[in-house]
């Protein structure tokens, strides 16, 4: 099947407008399927920037072969720096007007990039587009994800998008993002978070007034397997979850020119935080961010303050 996808991929034409960044780390088993799913999107793909973040398996060997198949693929290697740094490095190299990401164990579904580009073309006020998802296991077999269904339903029931994402990030992953270049320049890079750099970036975008166009169609296949980073350490996830929620609220309420606080929205977010037992930790983080005068986690000193984070673990 992969060979047929490679053969079907049309050559690049003047319609090319999307740069796709692929952060690669120890996914030799999955990377060919990921790249094939990008190329099958057709001529809308301008370039595919793949950065191997210090893989210790055969990922680089596989990519050396794949990169020779299509001139749009640019493949480089670096010492291990983490997902956020790899994404930032790749996005900095993009030349397209629209920026997309595909993690090396996920896969685009047919027509995804054209559909998201069309959504942004139709909505000049949206800087970001995303879609629904399907899920697969390590072998590529479709699986259910009740957590995703519940998190999405919370938003569909009327919850504000920011509060809904704090409750449960149903957008799931950086693989689900298409970003206008101007929006990326305005929002800034991913912060040095191991588990929730995607959630932090999305919340920062919302806090700064950027809108997200979401298509109901399932246009991304997200792979769930034993090596997903988010499954590593629950306490570490909760610390970053609290920090990210605090950065969102501080930016939303304190940024220059911020509109008056919508108290019903604030109350709804407080209910979410209380539900997840984060209502003590988040105000502590907000106090820290305000004291240091930087709410955006890509610039604030909080993430490098190990003493504060150690204390925070007792509050989450």
The answer, yes or no, to whether residue 281 has pLDDT greater than 90, is yes
pLDDT in tens, 35-85: 999 999 999 999 999 999 999 999 999 999 999 999 999 999 999 999 999
Determine the pLDDT at residue 6: 40
Distances (CA, A) of 153 to 164, 169, 196: 9, 12, 21
Is the model's pTM score more than 0.85? yes
According to the model, what pLDDT value does residue 235 have? 86
Q: What's the whole-number average pLDDT of the chain?
A: 93
Residue 213's SS3 state is: strand
pLDDT digits (tens, 9 = 90+) for 71-106: 999 999 999 999 999 999 999 999 999 999 999 999
């Amino acid at each position: 099947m992969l060979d047929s996808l490679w053969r079907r991929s049309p050559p690049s034409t003047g319609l090319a407008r999307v740069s796709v960044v692929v952060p690669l780390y120890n996914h030799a088993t999955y990377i060919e399927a990921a790249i094939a799913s990008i190329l099958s999107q057709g001529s809308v793909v301008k370039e595919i920037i793949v950065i191997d973040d210090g893989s210790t398996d055969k990922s680089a060997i596989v990519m050396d072969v794949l990169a020779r198949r299509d001139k749009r693929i640019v493949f480089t290697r670096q010492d291990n720096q983490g997902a956020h740094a790899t994404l930032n490095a790749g996005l900095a190299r993009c030349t397209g007007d629209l920026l997309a990401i595909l993690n090396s164990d996920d896969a685009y579904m047919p027509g995804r990039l054209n559909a998201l580009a069309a959504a942004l073309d139709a909505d000049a006020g949206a800087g970001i587009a995303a879609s629904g998802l399907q899920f697969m296991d390590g072998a590529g077999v479709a699986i259910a994800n009740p957590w995703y269904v519940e998190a999405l339903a919370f938003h569909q029931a009327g919850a504000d998008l920011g509060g809904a994402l704090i409750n449960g990030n149903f957008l799931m992953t950086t693989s689900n993002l298409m970003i206008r270049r101007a929006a990326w320049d305005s929002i800034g890079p991913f912060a040095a978070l191991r588990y929730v750099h995607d959630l932090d970036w999305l919340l920062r975008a919302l806090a700064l007034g950027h809108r997200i166009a979401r298509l109901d169609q399932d246009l991304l296949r997200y792979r769930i397997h034993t090596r997903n980073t988010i499954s590593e350490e629950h306490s570490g996830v909760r610390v970053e979850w609290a920090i990210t929620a605090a950065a969102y609220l501080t930016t939303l309420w304190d940024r220059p020119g911020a509109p008056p606080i919508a108290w019903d929205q604030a109350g709804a977010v407080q209910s979410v935080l209380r539900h997840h037992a984060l209502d003590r930790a988040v105000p502590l983080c907000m106090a820290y961010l305000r004291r240091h005068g930087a709410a955006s986690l890509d610039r604030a000193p909080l993430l490098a303050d190990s003493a504060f984070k150690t204390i925070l673990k007792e509050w989450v």
